[in-house]
Structure formats: structure tokens, C-alpha cells
Structure 1
Amino acid sequence: MTTAEPFDRIYQRACDRKGGRKALDALLGESVSAAELATIADNLLLGELTKKVFQSGFVWRVVRQKWPGFCEVFFDFNIEKILLMSDEMLEAKARDERIIRNAGKVFTIRHNAMMIDDVARKHGSFARFIADWPTTDIIGLWAYLKQHGARLGGNTGPYALRAMGKDTFILSTDVEAYLRATKVFDGGINSKRSLAQIQQQFNLWQQQSGRSLAHISQIIALSVGENLVGMQQ
């Protein structure tokens, strides 16, 4: 049985650790509205997926530095142009010094462009599909990206969604540790059962607080661990 605290207690502890309400709130990021997200061009969303795929297991700073090169090499992630690229073209792109040369990850760009194109044909745009997905089942959207996309499992898909502006929690090390310590879940963190238990708890916290999933997971992370005021982050 879960021993998770009511959200106001978690929030107060985070405030105490970070120097007060204003200091804590200043640390929280913002999601965009569903209406705003739905208007984002699909090529930009392919770019976000690609960026997170390349950042996974790599130094994020290097990916950011190389990003202008990625945009040049992959036509600003124009979906139609990416879909026309042959294996030979992708292999050549994977050797381009303007990007991080990883052929396996380069091939995900076309695969994820195919997913986006398929969704857009059915729903008008990939952005609309993402925007309309209910946050009360955000783990369902994670599962969709993992199943239909390439290298979007684990936290890669959620981080990409967060970068797009979609409201989602992130199972960071601190968040996972808290959820496990309070018995929100008791199995493998990526099992369907565990994710359903975690989603249920986040839905409850959202009802208690009226806050976004993103803010809830950020506040949990700031309420535990070693991220005290004055400590190296």
C-alpha cells in the first residue's frame, strides 16, 4: 500500500529546502497550452525527438553545440525530404562532421519521420495528436512513442515531450527514488503495472494541487535528495 504524502506536504518540504515559495516557483519550467502545442510545425517536433535521441547516453552540451549542423544536414527536419532519403543517403549523412556521427541514431530520424507522417495523415498533424492526448494517461503516450518510434523508450520519449511543451512527469533518479520509497510502485519501473500505479498517483496529486504533471514531478525532485539551497546542483 502506498505511503505517498499529500502533495501540500511535499510542496512545503520543497519550499523549505529551496528558500521559500518564490524561490521554488522560480525553478519550475512551463508547459505550453494544448492550443499552442497543436500549432507547432511537425518538422520542429521531429527535431525535438532527434535531439533527445542523440542526447540519450551522451553529453547534452555537445548535442546543443552541434545542433545547427544537424539542422543543415537534415533540411531543418523537413518530413517529406527525410522520407525520401535512402539507406545510402543516411549512411553518408552519418559520416558528416557537422553532426554527431552515430549511424544507428541517424537512421532513427527517418523512422520517426515515418511515425510522424503516419500520425499526421490520420489526425491532421503530429502536433495535434500530441496536444490532444490526455495527460491523465500520459504513460499511454510514452508507450505509443516507444512502440511506433525509434529509440524513444525509457526517459527519452518523456524528455522529448517535455521539450515540445507537452505536460508530462519525468521519472528522474530523485523522483523514482521517492516513488519507490513511498511504495507508489513495487516492481520494475518500466513495467505496465508500475507505470499505471505511478500515473494513478500523479493524477491524485494533480487533483489535490491543481498543478501540472511537470510541476509536480519537478517539485518532488526538489523535495528530496541533495539539492538543498547552497549546494552544488
Structure 2
Amino acid sequence: MAYPEQFSIIYQRAAERKGGKAALQSLLTKPRTAAQLQQLTDADCLSEFSKKIFQSGFVWSVVEKKWPGFEEVFFGFEPEKMLLMSDEMLAAKATDPRIIRNATKVFAIRDNALMIQQVADQYGSFGAFLAQWPGEDIIGLWGYLKKHGARLGGNTGAYALRMLGKDTFIISQDLEAYLRNVGVIEGGLSSQKNQKAIQHQFNLWQQQSGLSLQEISKVVAFSCGDNYVGLQR
């Protein structure tokens, strides 16, 4: 059986594939600090969760272009305003030509507004909640979003967290393939056993490298799969 490599080996291979360490570093970004996360408004968080829900299974660039229309239709994604909307009002919003008309996803906005407000009542803001959540249990945060939010399972919640600046890895196809090839996971990706194994492996790599989870995630993905110099992921 193969075993996970030391992160230094993975990093060197990724650098070679991307044209050197400087080129690799130019492809990496850092997450927000805890202080920066605390500056996020609840509307920022609801907007990003909603955007990722609408982008799921759809062309991301189309959603991005229409997002100013979404902001208008949904009052800047202020959670309090969304919670005042009745089913009839939401159903009417779902037919507005300024947005991508999908009633199920529209109703998820209100559901997630409720989650955000409940968290904010306890922590002061959703950004403050994100800031205090430990990176060594980022899988636990994914689980929280899936359980208490709407349509935030799979990679949807993780991508939203990444865009908000919360440090997280993303289980891309390349990353999943690597983890399977070295025996970290086997069977269903979403099993509790595999989720814990993935978190444990990232915790080890973070101890070895001192990098953020998102930097590690990208480096591992860049070290394998079809993403050589000149190819965008």
C-alpha cells in the first residue's frame, strides 16, 4: 500500500509541474485572518452562500454576471429582511427575470438567513462565528452548514467558506484521487471515517508546512492530475 508523502515532497513536485517555486507561489492565496473574518457582515455571508447555491450545477460565470440583479431583488441579502418574506413573496421573487429562476434555491435563501441570524444571536455575527471555528476541525464546520443550513452540503458550503475567506481545503477530483491512491480514504467520500481521515491528513500536512489549509489543498491538487504549466484549474 502507498502512504501519504511528506508535504515537502508534494510541494517540490507541484513546483516542478508549475515552472518553479515562484510560479507555484503566484498561484496560491491566503485566507482571511480571524480579525478580517469578524469584519464580514451577515449580509456578506448570506450573499456568498446564496451565490454558491445558485452556481451549483450551473455555469458560474452566468451567475456572477447576474449577481447585481440578485442583490437588488433580495434587498442586499440582509437576513432580517429575508426572514420577513412570506412564501408567496418568495415565490414571486423566484419569477423575477433579474435572477436565475429556481424556486427551490430561492427558498433556501430564507432558510440560510435563519441559520445566520440564530448564529449571530449567539456569537454577535456569523463572521465572528467563522473566526472562532478551529481549522483542525474544518470538516466539522462543513457538517454544521449541512445540518443547520439549506443546500450547503458537498462542496457547496466549502466553496462558500473559501470565498468568504475562511481557511478550508476543497476536495477536488485531483485531491480525492491523490488521497485514494495513497490509502488515506477508500469507499464513500462522505463517510464519517473518511472525513476524519482527510482532516487528520491535512492537520499533519499543516504541521509539516506551516501553510494554510487552502494553500495545502491547492499544492496537493497541483502536484497531480492534468494541470501542468499553462493549464488553468
1:136-151 to 2 correspondence within 5 Å? 136-151=136-151
Tell me the residue number matched to 1:111: 111
Task: Give 1:138's aligned amino acid.
Answer: I
Which residue matches 1:171?
A: 171
Contact 2:4–2:184 (Cα < 8 Å) also in 1 = yes
RMSD: 1.0
Aligned with 2:30: secondary structure? coil
CA displacement at 1:197 relative to structure 2: 0.3
For structure 1, the residue ranges without an aligned partner over 5 or more in a row are none
Aligned twin of 1:198: 198
Instruction: Name the % identity.
Output: 62
Match of 2:85 in 1: 85
1:183 counterpart = 2:179: no
1:36 corresponds to: 36
SS of equivalent to 2:154: coil
**Counterpart Cα distance in 2 of 1:75 and 1:55:** 20
Distance, in Å, in 2 between the alignment partners of 1:93 and 1:232 is 36
Residue 60 of structure 1 aligns to which amino acid in structure 2? Answer: W
1:50 equivalent in structure 2 = 50
Moved over 2 A (4+): 230-233
* Number of equivalent positions: 233
- The CA deviation at 1:187 is 2.4
AA partner of residue 160 (structure 2): A
After TM superposition, the structure 1 stretch with the greater mean CA deviation from structure 2, 108-117 or 120-129, is 120-129
TM-score, normalised relative to structure 1: 0.98
Q: In the aligned structure 1, how far is the partner of 2:157 from the partner of 2:25?
A: 25
Q: Deviations over 1:131-190 (max 9, x none)?
A: 110000000000000000000000000000000000000001110111111111112111
* Displacement of 1:232: 6.0
Deviations 1:99-143 (A, max 9, x none): 000000000000000000001111111110111100000000000
Q: Which moved more, 1:101-110 or 1:117-126?
A: 117-126
Q: Note if contact 1:2-1:185 (Cα within 8 Å) is conserved in structure 2.
A: no
In the alignment, which residue of structure 2 is the partner of 1:101? 101
1:23 maps to 2:23: yes
Distance 2:200 2:58 in 1: 32
